[in-house]
Amino acid sequence: MVAMKNKDVETIDGFSVGESIRMWRKSRGLLQKQLAAAAGMEVAQVWAIESNRNSPSVRTLSRLASALRISTIELLSPPPLEGAAPVAGPGRNLPAHIEKLDAIPIMRPDDKAKHLPKREMERMEKAIVAAANAEAGQQADLPTILPLTFPIIVSEGGAEQLAHFLRAYLDVGSAIIHDVFILFECHGIRILANDRLPKDIPAITFYSRLRRDYTIFLSSALDKFEHRRQFIFLTEIGRAFLFAAHNFDPVDDSEKSTRFAQHFAATFLMPASAVRTAVYSLRVKPDDWTFELLLRLKERFGVSAQAFNTRLRELGLITIAKSDEYKARIMSHYGADFDEPMPDGSIPQNRAGDLLSLSRQ
């Protein structure tokens, strides 16, 4: 393969670099804005490269190749057929049937007691292989196409920035999302159930460098607690971004990383603007809350009562005294039933019902 200059644009075997990038992007079924977000670039930059107005640097080529889940060498050659069906898997050389994958857990437990037995780890790796082969057989094989190059600041502010950026990338704005699983499955996150995870390990995430995709195992015990299941799933998404920012090397689990992932999950599920809009539309002052109203609104956001109570407190929408009172009630309920407290089903599920619940103490 010989590269040569032609009007200041590199060409390879008759194809410009920009043309190859465009063909690879289309083979992945991606829009320019999606590739740009995944590579941490501006849409205008991708457009300029694909239209041969700019020649990409080696670093830019590496970022684009990573975003497309191929090697830089592959990026410099066009896909086998332009206009063909989207490429299955992260590279053209991937075998049709996979026998073994390089799946690695993305977090290193801080407590030795949380290390899963080798037999269980091997069992999960086999489950990933089986799922990958089933997807390939159905031509539903999709690498993770999230913008993993987003710079991470491990703080509450950094978690909020990531949640805001990711919502913008997914084109959901500040809308309430009732099924985060479908949203992320459509972007190449594989979600599997595991009935053997211990109670203190509700989820575990693996990454495959070969396929460049994530698999998240969720404990089957969470099936009965949908709100908690969504929150834990999103904490794993937060951890996935931490892992990517750590050069795709396992990250030491810590109190700081846990706080980051949990705050990301909370702000992704409950954007400040959406929570404020819901509260202000009812003209609820910080000391006006009733427990019934808190339960009704948390259902709208698909989160647990305590997560919503904490978010209201963070945003200054509820007094500390009310928040503490409701936290005690919620924790008492969790201790008795280990289930989610639910609002009164006899009240109409609309704004008038919310207003009615304000009058109930």
Query: CATH code at 67?
Result: 1.10.260.40
- Cα separation, 73 vs 201, in Å, equals 40
CA distances to 148, 226, 307, 309, 344 from 296, in Å:
35, 16, 13, 12, 8
- Cα separation, 335 vs 341, in Å, equals 11
Q: Would you state the structure tokens that stand for residue 34, as one six-digit string? A: 């999606």
pTM above the 0.85 mark?
no
Residue 93 pLDDT:
42
Residues 110, 185, single domain; the answer is yes
Domain edge (last residue) among 236, 269, 302: 269
Answer whether residue 78 is part of any domain.
no
Residues 323, 351, single domain; the answer is yes
Domain edge (last residue) among 228, 251, 269: 269
Residues 349, 319, single domain; the answer is yes
Residues 258, 277, single domain; the answer is no
Answer whether residue 231 is part of any domain.
yes
Residues 122, 184, single domain; the answer is yes
Residues 210, 157, single domain; the answer is yes
Tens of pLDDT, residue by residue over 58-116, are 778 878 887 887 777 677 776 654 443 344 444 444 445 677 788 899 998 877 767 88
Answer whether residue 93 is part of any domain.
no
Answer whether residue 226 is part of any domain.
yes
Residues 305, 328, single domain; the answer is yes
Tens of pLDDT, residue by residue over 20-58, are 888 888 887 888 888 888 888 888 889 989 888 888 887
How many CA within 13 A on the CB side of residue 347?
19
Residues 156, 283, single domain; the answer is no
Query: CATH code at 199?
Result: 1.10.10.2910
Residue 31 pLDDT:
87
Q: What range defines the domain where residue 132 resides?
A: 103-269
Answer whether residue 282 is part of any domain.
yes
Residue 92 pLDDT:
40
Q: Would you state the structure tokens that stand for residue 109, as one six-digit string? A: 């437990």
Instruction: Name the nearest CA neighbour of 87 among 205, 188, 216, 209.
Output: 188
- DSSP letter string, 271-312: -HHHHHHHHHHTT--TTT--HHHHHHHHHHHT--HHHHHHHH
Q: What is the mean pLDDT of each run of 10 residues along the chain (361 residues)?
A: 38 66 84 84 88 82 80 70 41 56 88 82 91 74 77 92 92 89 89 90 91 91 88 96 91 93 96 94 93 92 93 96 95 78 81 74 57
Answer whether residue 126 is part of any domain.
yes
Are residues 90 and 212 in contact, defined by beta-carbon separation less than 8 angstroms? yes
Instruction: Name the nearest CA neighbour of 104 among 251, 254, 233, 264.
Output: 251
Instruction: Count up the domains in the chain and report the number.
Output: 3
CA distances to 39, 232, 240 from 213, in Å:
15, 19, 10
- Cα separation, 130 vs 328, in Å, equals 45
- Strand ranges of the sheet holding 203-208, from the earlier edge strand across to the other edge: 103-105, 203-208, 213-219, 189-194
Domain edge (last residue) among 252, 269, 286: 269
Answer whether residue 89 is part of any domain.
no
Residues 222, 326, single domain; the answer is no
Q: Would you state the structure tokens that stand for residue 148, as one six-digit string? A: 């993993």
Q: Strand, helix or coil at 215?
A: strand
Residue 328 pLDDT:
95
Residues 256, 304, single domain; the answer is no
Give strand pairing partners of 216: 191, 205
Residues 331, 276, single domain; the answer is yes
Answer whether residue 95 is part of any domain.
no
Residues 211, 128, single domain; the answer is yes
